[in-house]
Amino acid sequence: MNKLTIRDLDLGGRRLFIRTDFNVPLDESGRIADSSRIQAGLPTIRYALSCGAGVVLASHLGRPRGRFDPGLSLKPVAAALEAAIGRPVEMAGDCVGEAVERQSSELAPGRVLLLENLRFHSEEEANRESFCRQLARLCDCYVNDAFGAAHRAHASTAGMVRFVGGGAAGLLMERELSYLGKALERPDRPFVAVLGGAKVSDKIEVIENLLDRVDGMLVGGGMAYTFLRARGVEVGKSLVEEDKIPLARGLLRKAEQAGIPLVLPVDHVVTCELGSDAPSRVIPIGETRPEWMGVDIGPETRSRFRKILSTAGTVLWNGPVGVFEIDRFAGGTLSLAQAAAASAATTIVGGGDSIAAVRRAGVADRITHISTGGGASLEFLSGRKLPGVESLSDRA
């Protein structure tokens, strides 16, 4: 990684603006349902405080669409963060304005100020220069630790950096870029990518970019059926993107020409009605009747996937290989989580359902790196530049 990190900054007595990702899920009562994103940001915050910085934290929460929404206030985050770091967290009434500038100017070393939801202002997502300048007035130096928002060219993730005089990556951002970057550029081989999820269209660029880098690709989930149809296999009522069949055919041809095994399911769990108590059964892919739909990979496919992962040097997994949200069709995805954890490879897992699977399987602590960035990690893996990374200062 060729960007400055927080460790390169002289933080003593300075006001440090840290763009974090505290976009946590809230339950119906407004309480935090999952504090994983807060926990992920703690090392950077603790490091800054240990160096004697006054810390200004900024994040978005939900989609308030440029309007104040009390249900999307960051106040619950302030309380959770205060408990986590064991020191007071001052909650600002807004993220810009005279009152916030006064709070920031009075921020003593070792103190923490959490700004209110950045997206209460439409200028944040519009990356308006005036808003960028207002945010920049709150600090002496800037760190971006919000990898999950790094693919957005917003005021707090990219625009304000030039008005602060440069920026550095936080510890979480550094870790994300290091692991994902190594997978793309210097992976331990064999490098195996496992891609799932519903649609090929969601991962077209990722597949194209990875086919030039991997030693093998395993495809499951709904997207597998578009590839199977492209091979002329009958898949019944399984999810198929008809308009993407020619594209899938081209990707299969590219993999074959490059000598990259693109492994598809050979058996699957089928049912007639999704989400009901309709009976399900395991059958070979080629025996799928018109009234059946595939909802999970079968035992033979699980065994093949597990065998390939057991000999890998690097495993990159994004997306479930079945209808994971329904318990009886989650078995394939959970078996994949266990196989990844059992592998001696460097394992990188991203995507909400994949992360949920390794946690549900009880193997999260055996995964090398769990990525916090959904859309950001996909764009990075597709080879795109991330505005929140590009805006940071390069190493000399």
Q: Catalytic annotation on 66?
A: no
Give just the sign of the alpha carbon dihedral 273, 275, 279, 283. Answer: positive
216 three-state secondary structure:
strand
- CA distance from start to end of the chain: 12
Q: What is the 3-state secondary structure (H, E, C) of 354-388?
A: HHHHHHHCCCHHHCCEECCCHHHHHHHHCCCCCHH
Contact (Cβ atoms closer than 8 angstroms) between residue 48 and residue 16? yes
- Side-chain half-sphere CA neighbours of 231 within 13 A: 17
83 three-state secondary structure:
helix
Tokens coding 217: 């690709």
For residue 128, CA distances in Å to 125, 154, 359, 360, 376 come to 8, 8, 39, 42, 22
One of 199, 213, 306, 360 is an active-site residue; which one?
Answer: 199
Q: Catalytic annotation on 375?
A: yes
Q: Catalytic annotation on 350?
A: no
Contact (Cβ atoms closer than 8 angstroms) between residue 183 and residue 312? no
Q: What is the DSSP letter of 109?
A: T
One of 37, 175, 244, 302 is an active-site residue; which one?
Answer: 37
Q: Catalytic annotation on 166?
A: no
Contact (Cβ atoms closer than 8 angstroms) between residue 9 and residue 141? yes
One of 52, 313, 375, 383 is an active-site residue; which one?
Answer: 375
Please return the burial class of 226, using the count of CB atoms within 10 Å of its CB with bins 0-12, 13-18 and 19+: buried
Q: Looking at the annotation, which residues are catalytic?
A: 37, 199, 352, 375
